[in-house]
Amino acid sequence: MALALTACACLPASASAVSEQATLHASFSPDRLGASTTISFGFQIATTEGLAPPPLTSLDLRMPAGINFTTTTLGLAICQPAALLAKGLAGCSPNSRLGFGSAYVEVPFGTGSGDEIPEIQALMGPPHDGNMVVLFYANGKTPVYAQLVFSGEVLPAYGAFGSQLATAVPLIASVPGGPDVSILSVQSTIGPSRLTYYRHSHGRLVPFHPVGVSVPARCPRGGFPFSAQFVFQDGSSTSASSTVPCPPRRRRG
């Protein structure tokens, strides 16, 4: 339940001929003011020429004021990037998991419709300069075999936005020494949906569901705004925005 808006790319003079367009969508589940929720967000990148977009190098996702990762019980453990790279998810505590998703990438020798990286995990990483860090673990098997860890830093944002997730996206070589793949779309969640944490109680491990981000108690006029800025390897950039409409008022009685 979200409205998605698109924006055209801003191309520097020296950039390639393609012009990127991005769409962003976001939603809350459950979508209820003040409730612990799971945020789903996703983006798609395309070009007006129908070609694969240039490889993505950074993504800055801005979230509405009042949405705050640090107020949750998500990420009660820290996942170390080295352990994640070495052992995959088994290298980190389940209590470090924040969400999960998938992505579509386009390889230069692909079909043009993209290939899915079915597993993207979001985990709590070691803080940087006191700021919360989200690790993204992408486990690609085919056609690109790559296990990648990259990180986003949660920073303050201003105006209608309360925080931003500033993420540097590494280049993903299609084959060793080959051209880099293009990211066509990403879907991910941040929240307790389908996550199970564990705590010790009387010598036993007891499963529980973490508390997610709270939907703010008040909805701003026009809904909850999300925005994303995309920067590509060739220096071009584009942006997209999305709004989660205010949930319907609950009737009393």
Partner 1 sequence: MLSGVAVLLASVGASLGVGAALEVGVARAGEPTAHVSRTISLSETAHLHRTSGRGITIDQPLNEMGSASGTIRGAIYIHLKLPAVNRVTAEVNIYPSGGSITGYATARYSVDGGTASFSGTMSIARGTGSYDHASGSGLSFSGTIQRSNDAVSVHLSGRLSV
The residue count for binding partner 1 (CB under 8 A) is 32
Touching partner 1, residues 140-159 (CB under 8 A): 154-156
Closest separation between CB of residue 61 and partner 1, Å? 13
Touching partner 1, residues 66-105 (CB under 8 A): 66, 68-73, 75-78, 95-96
DSSP string, 7-54: EE-B--TTS-S--EEEEEEEEEES--TT-EEEEEEEEEEEETTSSPPP
Binding partner 1 by CB under 8 A: which of 87, 141, 194, 199? 199
203 binds partner 1 per the rule CB under 8 A: no
CA distance 192 to 129: 26
Task: Rank residues 87 and 218 by Cβ distance to partner 1 and give the closer one.
Answer: 218
Q: Which stretch binds partner 1 (CB under 8 A): 7-15, 38-46, 63-71, 231-239?
A: 63-71
Kindly report the three-state secondary structure assignment for every residue of 116-167: EEEEEEEEEEEEECCEEEEEEEEEECCCCCEEEEEEEEEEECCCCEEEEEEE
Task: Rank residues 76 and 83 by Cβ distance to partner 1 and give the closer one.
Answer: 76
Encoded amino acid at 221, one letter: R
Q: Which residue in 155, 43, 39 sits closest to 100, CA to CA? A: 39
Residue that has been written with the tokens 């998500």 in this structure: 74
Q: Which stretch binds partner 1 (CB under 8 A): 39-47, 65-73, 138-146, 187-195?
A: 65-73
Residue 238 and residue 88 in contact, taking contact as beta carbons nearer than 8 Å: no
Instruction: Output DSSP code: residue 79.
Output: P
Closest separation between CB of residue 229 and partner 1, Å? 18
Footprint of partner 1 (CB under 8 A): 34, 65-66, 68-73, 75-78, 95-96, 124, 126-127, 130-132, 154-156, 162-163, 199, 211, 214, 216-218
